[in-house]
Chains A and B, each alone.
Chain A
Amino acid sequence: MINNKTKNVAFNALVKKAIDVLMFPLIAILLGLFVAVFFVMWAKNLGFIDGTATLFSAIWEGTFGKRANFIETLVAMTPLIFTGLAHSVAFRTGLFNIGVEGQFIMGMLAAALIGLIPGIPAPIHVTLVLLGGLIFGAVWAAIPGYLKAKVGTNEVVNTIMMNFIAMNVSNYFVKGPIHREGSASSKMILESAQLYRFLSPSERVNVGLFIGIALIFVIYWLLWKTTIGYELRAVGLNMHAAEYGGINSKKNIILAMVISGAIAGLGGAAHVAGTIHKAHQLVGFTNYGFDGIAVALLAKSHPIGVLFSSLLFGGLNSSARILQKFRIPKQIVYIIQGIIIIFVAADYIYKWLKEKKKKEAIKNA
């Protein structure tokens, strides 16, 4: 009876929280699409109704409408799950790990290197590839994490620098020791190192997607059901109170960076092992790490939210090609993404201002 009541209370609180949390992202998405319609009208000289119809059918076809496109949506979504989760863990601990991009690249490099080692049976080889990516990413994030905890350097600045180092380290190997003649990429990884493509070998969607989805639940469990997550979140919300409660904030800052980097590195390895089977020479960044910022922001740094926001961003990314078929500039997709982020950011600013005003009122009453 009492237990039932508690559950009710908890459930009601949950529903209220869910509405509270979901409203702004949904409004942001709708507004993003709505504004995009105007750009379509302008670009194609259409009326509002025609413009809406054209844009929506193009995006629909590009994301879910055709089998091939839907598969590409899932392919585009997979790395975003990892990078979105990586950012979420860091955000929850009060850190901004812009280095997810570099950690993702290090994960890709690890997979491209380990994937070339011959003579290892398939299940072990794949495991080694993923583990290697995880460790490369974790180490890459641990360095700025350690510096922040021990010396107090800013993790944003350091991880940005680490991104460039990662890119150049990767290029050194891809252009040098593992370069494939006459290409802009590394040698193909061995078949034993590849993640299973469950539809057909030519369709790129692979079990990396399921690893990502499973990871979502692991991270959710870690953050809300374990002492590790309790400490990470406490440090993220109020470092002073955490320390007063006997929680070592420095240790947790490093731990959060390591977990974040490990997720990003795993994502990079899964991307190579499942989707592209080689590492490309990088002229610029892959952007999976940076898109992950948007994914995590839209998801409010909640792992379950990452599932949906990575689907949205993955879908938009993969529909960019199809839009051109409809003679809609593919940049429209990026406009939509940008507007969504602006509105999500506006939500943060709005909440921040509200909080600030409330604090002032309490202080001065």
Chain B
Amino acid sequence: MEKVIEMRGITKIFPGVIANDNVDFELRKGEIHVLLGENGAGKTTLMNILYGLYQPDKGEIYVNGKKVNIKGPSDAIAMGIGMVHQHFMLVHNFTVAENIILGSEPKTAFGFKIDYKKAIKDVKELADKYGFNVDPNSIIEDITVGQQQKVEILKALYRGAEILILDEPTAVLTPQEIEELGQILKNLVKEGKSIILITHKLKEVMNMSDRVTIVRRGKVVDTVNTKDVDMDTLAEMMVGRKVNLVVEKKPAKVGDVVLKIENLQALDHRKLPKLKGVDLEVRSGEILGIAGVDGNGQTELVEVITGLRRATGGRVILKGNDLTNRAPKEIIEAGISNIPEDRHKHGLVLKFSLTENAVLGQHDKEPFSKGIIMNYDVIREHAKKLINDFDVRTPNEEVHAGALSGGNQQKFIAAREITKDPELLIATQPTRGLDVGAIEYIHKRLVEERDKGKAVLLVSLELDEVMALSDRIAVMYDGKIVGILDADKTNEMELGILMAGGTLNKKEGEHDKQ
């Protein structure tokens, strides 16, 4: 078969990391080729090189058999390579058509004016050809994330892309939207396009691809035909050892209500309503998972509970204690621990030592301090205990938190928050960007806390994670909880419908949408 892309011996070194180490990669015409690897394995770096965003330190690239030197994205586009990034690059107050033509606008006869009529016609034709269901005249901020992604793909096609690179395209989609994307990709391949898909999700590899190249720590492990392998084999190749894909847990022993949220409302950073009346209960001995597409109010909900954002209405009650709009300090003291979404921004002071980070949130409590005087001997012992108990890999407790790997940073934060022995443990995206080993470990500790009778509130964008850990799943859509389901009595399709704002017929109309 004809090779459209061939990358030979690509090496890219960043200070302190070899992102790509002598990588070979090829893409055949008309195939969907997955680049599979854990976060930080070097997948995105390799594709950024192909798209001209980085220059390789070593290695050669061939496009359609010709050796090329890609100096920037404009070169790549000229060669028919298009890339859809994980974070979309769209102008939010422009229409779909305006976004698609941006940078290569059709002009009227004298070249002074943009020919919008032609633009809209072109976009419509293109969308119809590949079965995209988008209106060229809608404004970007009014359409769903799934549709925005289609606009990104159309943008690449409009520029004449024959080769499409999609970076983690399913991260922001509901299960139904993922299926739709799969169909679109198949249509594109039928038209002779070739597609590279970057992902770390095994299920998508199995469903969508023809071939897989597995990358681990900057090196290619192997390239295989998808139909010749199964998920377990792929997981093992990706991680380098046998992996347990399911979380083991005993049935929940559910107790009293620990956290009660009533009709909670709040604004987002643009002062627009983001939480529109959230009702929720978390009981001791259970993990309540919140599922939802990114941006439906999950982050704001956790911020309001932990006191970092003001509620404009409603109440947050912990064991009968009204905590609404109290200071973060009082909320911590009341017994809420939080493994935050962004460990660099919220979880750690990166330039503090681990010792200093070990008491963040408790630094003014005995035995760590008395009056204003801190007792560093006790604090150091505490830090050592956290490091030992949670198997944090670090030379010692005096190094800066920033010197640790992401997985070890997260373990350290989990250690600190769990060791506080809280009434309620909140974990927001607790495994984002971690390798499989660290994910397994964090999951195990969360289940342990639940078994000890703690209430655990898990917020995650990874539906698999929510389904694997939770006892009950609350689906959040447009600032409301639109359904609460038992984890063992539901499935991905049901959750997907709710995540997209739909309703389940069998549910009573309590949470009806419009």
Contacts and interface: CB of A to CB of B under 8 A. Distances in A.
Nearest to B372: A226
Contacts of B398: 9-10, 13
Contacts of A230: 356, 363, 374
A360 interface: yes
Contacts of A225: 373-374, 376
B225 interface: no
A240 B345 contact: yes
Given A241-B348, A354-B15, A246 B44 contact: no
Most buried by B among A9, A227, A231: A227
A241 B360 contact: yes
A13 B396 contact: yes
Nearest to B340: A244
If over half of A's interface residues share one DSSP class (helix, strand or loop), that class is named, otherwise mixed; here it is helix
Nearest to A358: B15
B45 A237 contact: no
B352 A237 contact: yes
A364 B14 contact: yes
Nearest to B360: A245
Nearest to B380: A6
A237 B351 contact: yes
A252 B328 CA distance: 15
A231 B359 CA distance: 11
Contact of A248 (B16, B329, B380): B329
A237 B402 CA distance: 12
Interface string B9-39: 0000011110100000000000000000000
B17 A240 contact: no
Given A241-B360, A244-B340, A244-B346, A360 B14 contact: yes
Nearest to A222: B372
Interface string B322-352: 0000011101110000101000011111111
A243 interface: yes
A228 interface: yes
A238 B14 contact: no
Contacts of A244: 306, 308, 328, 338, 340, 346-347, 360-361
A138 B405 CA distance: 42
Given A228-B372, A230-B356, A245-B360, A237 B350 contact: yes
Most buried by B among A228, A237, A238, A360: A238
A245 B361 contact: yes
A57 B316 CA distance: 73
Given A227-B363, A245-B360, A361 B19 contact: yes
A-B CB proximity, top 10 nearest = A361-B14, A246-B329, A245-B360, A245-B361, A244-B346, A13-B398, A226-B372, A246-B328, A238-B349, A227-B364
Given A227-B373, A234-B349, A246-B328, 8 more contacts: A13-B399, A227-B363, A230-B363, A241-B349, A244-B346, A245-B361, A362-B40, A364-B45
Interface of B: 14-17, 19, 40-42, 44-45, 48, 54, 306, 308, 327-329, 331-333, 338, 340, 345-352, 356, 360-361, 363-364, 369, 372-374, 376, 380, 396-399
